[in-house]
Structure 1
Amino acid sequence: MSKTTTASAPRWRALLALLAGLTLGFTSLPAHAADEVRLLKAFSSVSSRYGQVWQDVSYTLVVKNLAYEKFVYIQQKQPDGSWVLLPASYAGPANNGFELWKVTQQYQSWGTEPQPTRDLEFVARFVVGGTSYWDNNGGANYQLGRNDGPLLNGTHVLVDGNFWRANGDLDVSVDVKNLAYAKNVTVVYTTDGWATSHEAAASYVNGYTYAYAYIQSPNAQNVERWQAHVPAISGTALQFYVRYEVNGQTYWDSNFGYNYQPVRQTP
């Protein structure tokens, strides 16, 4: 599916949208969205090194493509109680007329204006055609501790990332909701366009690092980290999806039907 929108818009239009948000204020409003916008994942971690401390924050949203021109935000509460709009950028298609948008933010303890780390309270906002849609977690707003790691919403399994080893092996990191003690997490992959397929069982990880932060697994949001190892493969046409089996149910992450297609950098 071709990309139907871009994250960029003329600067003056983005400024007008931001001013409109400031005019409306930053108080939490009742949720208006049915499926127009929803939080998919939020992540926060606090790193410390050489006496410096910083917080990495990211948000991933699923947005309905109602028009080419749109504005997508995270509305986040500041430590002083005020609210700020964090503009999102287009991140890719999500099939069936939906798109992925993402916000990344870093709060640093160094510099002339240090920004302290903070626990997060936030909502998702989508502005299109003069109408604002909200996902505010049913009126409760979303909450995420400063070093919780991932929060999953509306999904039980989601690939966090993948890493190519020098020998051609691929490591795949997967986040799953801890729905029961007994579970199976499997990466299903192909190198020939699904003429044949193979499976790599993932293993539970009881803790992991992000930058210089340590994230417990399961975390305060009851999300576990699992990791699968795909042995060295020939060619570059690798595709994979993830199967999560728990409580007699099976859940999937197929990258919204596109499958994951990691690109290996060649020298």
Structure 2
Amino acid sequence: MLQSQTLMKKIDRKAQNLEAQKVALENCIVKNEECKMIGTIKVANITNEKLVNVRVTFDEWKTFQDLPATYQTSPSKNYDNFFFKLEIPSIQAERIEFCISYHANGTEYWDSNNGINYSLIRHNNDCV
């Protein structure tokens, strides 16, 4: 099973800092039976053109992938929500790490969990 309890506690704190950092992971759920991670991201609505990505690694940042997030809703004029779905590959990685990038008006913003990134620990060879 992928453990994500600590992740959820950190997400709650990060959402409170959205005003300062402009992007925050809002929700993340691991569906072990489907080998998927799904989540939502909230960004400050500072321009109409936005690019939101989930940067993920399965090998401790030797390589990474940028997964585009999809616009979901606009709950208010100040914030937009984005959705992502990540297929968890059937590899022997013990840790999945990720962070969020938001590009707007030529500026790049990051939610990297205060520089330590978000991580999920794989147990019992789930999703393999």
One fold, TM greater than 0.5?
yes
Q: How far 1:154 sits from its partner (Å)?
A: 1.3
1:169 equivalent in structure 2: 36
Q: For 1:242 and 1:151, locate their aligned partners in 2 and report how far apart those are by CA, in whole Å.
A: 14
SS of match in other structure, 1:153:
helix
Q: For 2:36 and 2:114, locate their aligned partners in 1 and report how far apart those are by CA, in whole Å.
A: 24
2:76 equivalent in structure 1: 219
Question: Pick from 182, 191, 194: which aligns with 2:61?
Answer: 194
Q: Cα 1:255–1:151, aligned 2, differ >3 Å: closer, same or farther?
A: closer
Percent of paired sites with the same residue: 26
Q: How far 1:236 sits from its partner (Å)?
A: 3.5
TM-score, with length taken from structure 1: 0.38
- Whether contact under 8 Å (2:30, 2:37) holds in the other structure is yes
1:261 aligns with 2:119: yes
Q: Structure 2 unaligned runs (5+)?
A: 1-8
Q: Structure 1 unaligned runs (5+)?
A: 1-90, 93-100, 103-149, 207-216
1:247 equivalent in structure 2: 105
Describe how 1:139-158 pairs up with structure 2 within 5 A. Answer: 152-158=18-24
> Alpha-carbon deviations, 1:60-119, whole Å to 9, x = none?
xxxxxxxxxxxxxxxxxxxxxxxxxxxxxxx67xxxxxxxx96xxxxxxxxxxxxxxxxx
1:180 equivalent in structure 2: 47
Structure 1 vs Structure 2 CA RMSD: 2.6
Higher RCO, Cα 8 Å, sep 6+: 2
User: Relative to total residues, which structure has the larger helix share, 1 or 2?
Assistant: 2
> Alpha-carbon deviations, 1:34-59, whole Å to 9, x = none?
xxxxxxxxxxxxxxxxxxxxxxxxxx
Q: For 1:228 and 1:236, locate their aligned partners in 2 and report how far apart those are by CA, in whole Å.
A: 22
Larger Rg: 1
